Structure 1
Amino acid sequence: DAPWLRDVTLCWIGYPFHEVSNAVWWYYMIEMGFYYSLLITSLFDVRRTDFRQLLFHHFVTILLLSLSWMINFIRVGTLILILHDVSDISLDWTLTRIGYFPLVVIRSAIFDAPTLIQSDYDLFNPFEIPYAPRIIIGFLFCLLALHIFWTTIIVRIVIRTITVGEAKDVRSDDESEDEKENVDGVYSRNTQKEK
């Protein structure tokens, strides 16, 4: 019900004097814990071909959450979190992550935020302080690059499903060749036995 969820420019007006409600505080802390747990558990999970990109995504997300919390960019941070969480639920990936995220959120961070926060701030002057907005925008572009990467994977899966009739995750290797399950349920690397 926050008005800045509908009008992104309200994320910047009145900055840095934005109060953080209890609900937003809890949401941020739960999300931060969630992404830390994803980062740690992914080290022990089955490694797919996009393992490095996934680790980088979790790392960038934690950095964005931390930086936005430290400099009170909580409104836009919450908007980005909701945008990503909602798209996970509805699987409306392309609309939210390839459409709304870059065209509304990143555009507003580049063009609206500097003029609404500090009218004489030149975002494109690398020597002008503060540096945090440029760092955050850089990390937002990292997330966008990862979204594009994963969107191409999703499109490849859809095309394969339509043309071949088989839905296979193109990120994973053939598990029957790669891993063998022991009696205990523990996975180990499969080595070819000579006969």
Structure 2
Amino acid sequence: MEAAEMDTMSWSWSEYFPSPNYFRLFRMVLEELPEYYRTLPSNGTLDELTKYSYVTWSEIQFGVLMAVIWTIVRTLLTILIFKPAGRYLELTKSNQAKMPESAWRFTFYLTSWSCVAYVLLWNHADILRDPPKSFIGWSADMEIPWDIRMCYLIQGSYYLHGLVTVLVLDVWRSDSMVLCMHHVLTLVLITLSYACRYHFIGLMVVFYHDFNDIFLEFSKCHIYLKDRGNKKYMIHEYFANAGFAVFTVSWCIMRMYLYPLKVLYNVLPSTAKTYYKGHLPFGIECNSMMWLLMFLDIYWFVYIVIFLYKIFTKELSEFEDIREENEHIDADGNVKEEKEKNGTKHAAGDALANGVATDTAAINGNGLKKRHPVPSS
């Protein structure tokens, strides 16, 4: 094999795992972001929208249609598979009500993240190694590869479906406003990055964020499966604990380390313009929204740390819900809210299983939390 071919095939560990230098990153943000305005050849954001963004009404309509389809698919899976499976396995009444939601989210995140990972790692690995390459040949009317278009359709429609679910179907909670803000922010980022052809950056944001949710929902499902038929199956507790461990470690690596140093760092002017020297529109807007997403990650990470501290100091004897509000299941199997009593005790029917906090919004990454189950027919 020729030496040139070997150089092309080889890769460095540092290409995927950059040196941790948060201080330099924060300093560069303050120093460089004004560069986007200094090179602005237009009259502001509204003028940039007309010159540098492009999305058709048919694409928007198709995304809305897909959001409706997600709602239908979730309802059918809940009625035809998840709830019958819960009854067949003789789960507790509380877990029969909660399990379908986590099973749905686990199914979606596993499928959607796998698609994004395949597209990035197999079809566009050079972008993941060297993100500034995503701006090579950039133009406002450049063609988006079909595989990335499909990933955007899946992600955008799902978050639209999730936003409507929170606002219309789900019980309102103390963190619901943060969850809505997250969904709105994600939708705006998805739409803007697609319209202005920053699709590789948008795909990397999804890649580094959605992986954690697979293992969170995996852990929840195993918690619900532990108690069934008046017996405890401890194998599910071991799976739940393992899933929560992967969730926590992957959060630290992918959201707190790789996301800022592989994405936020590489959309600053000095790095983004490594291969492209022209004007990149929406620099301030995209950076601001992605940093806001980073602050939301830090917000939830603080609760993960608090939760783990309580476990290791034995303030909590088992993994349980540390939210202010908790739920119980009434005689009809409906989920209801009730405040914690005496600081640690939960309402009857909400004794959380060992292993992970099955429904805590504080550790659920994208704000995933327990909601009303889809009514059975």
Query: Is 1:169 aligned to 2:321, yes or no?
Result: yes
Number of the residue aligned with 1:140: 290
Query: Is 1:113 aligned to 2:238, yes or no?
Result: no
Number of the residue aligned with 1:6: 129
Give the Cα–Cα distance (whole angstroms) in 1 for the partners of residues 166 and 313 of structure 2. 32
**Residues 156-180 of structure 1 deviation map (CA, whole Å, 9 limit, x = unaligned):** 111112222222232351335xxx6
1:184–1:142 Cα change, 3 Å: same
Residues 19-168 of structure 1 aligned to structure 2 (within 5 Å): 19-43=143-167, 44-89=169-214, 91=247, 92-110=250-268, 111-114=270-273, 116-118=275-277, 130=281, 132-164=282-314, 165-168=317-320
Number of the residue aligned with 1:124: none
Give the Cα–Cα distance (whole angstroms) in 2 for the partners of residues 104 and 74 of structure 1. 15
Contact 1:39/1:58 (8 A) holds in 2:
yes
Q: Report the AA paired with residue 113 of structure 1.
A: A
Name which of structure 1's ranges 103-112 and 24-33 shifts more when overlaid on structure 2: 103-112
Contact 2:208/2:254 (8 A) holds in 1:
yes
Q: Offset at 1:23?
A: 1.7
Contact 1:102/1:144 (8 A) holds in 2:
yes
1:171–1:11 Cα change, 3 Å: farther
Number of the residue aligned with 2:343: none
Q: Offset at 1:149?
A: 0.2
Contact 1:4/1:11 (8 A) holds in 2:
yes
**Residues 100-119 of structure 1 deviation map (CA, whole Å, 9 limit, x = unaligned):** 11122101101312454335
Give the Cα–Cα distance (whole angstroms) in 1 for the partners of residues 301 and 260 of structure 2. 14
Unaligned runs of 5+ in 2: 1-121, 215-245, 339-377
Name which of structure 1's ranges 76-85 and 29-38 shifts more when overlaid on structure 2: 76-85
Q: Report the AA paired with residue 166 of structure 2.
A: S
Contact 1:32/1:65 (8 A) holds in 2:
yes
List structure 1 segments (4+ residues) > 6 angstroms apart after TM superposition: none
Give the 3-state SS of the residue equivalent to 1:184 in structure 2: coil
Query: Normalising to structure 1: TM-score of the pair?
Result: 0.80
Give the Cα–Cα distance (whole angstroms) in 2 for the partners of residues 169 and 20 of structure 1. 43
Give the Cα–Cα distance (whole angstroms) in 2 for the partners of residues 83 and 40 of structure 1. 24
Give the 3-state SS of the residue equivalent to 1:117 in structure 2: coil
Give the Cα–Cα distance (whole angstroms) in 2 for the partners of residues 158 and 9 of structure 1. 37
Name which of structure 1's ranges 106-115 and 94-103 shifts more when overlaid on structure 2: 106-115
**Residues 48-105 of structure 1 deviation map (CA, whole Å, 9 limit, x = unaligned):** 4322111111110000000001100011111111121223335211111111111221
Give the Cα–Cα distance (whole angstroms) in 2 for the partners of residues 172 and 68 of structure 1. 36
Larger radius of gyration: 2
Give the Cα–Cα distance (whole angstroms) in 2 for the partners of residues 53 and 78 of structure 1. 23
Q: Offset at 1:188?
A: 5.3
Unaligned runs of 5+ in 1: 122-128, 191-195
1:53–1:158 Cα change, 3 Å: same
Give the 3-state SS of the residue equivalent to 1:167 in structure 2: coil
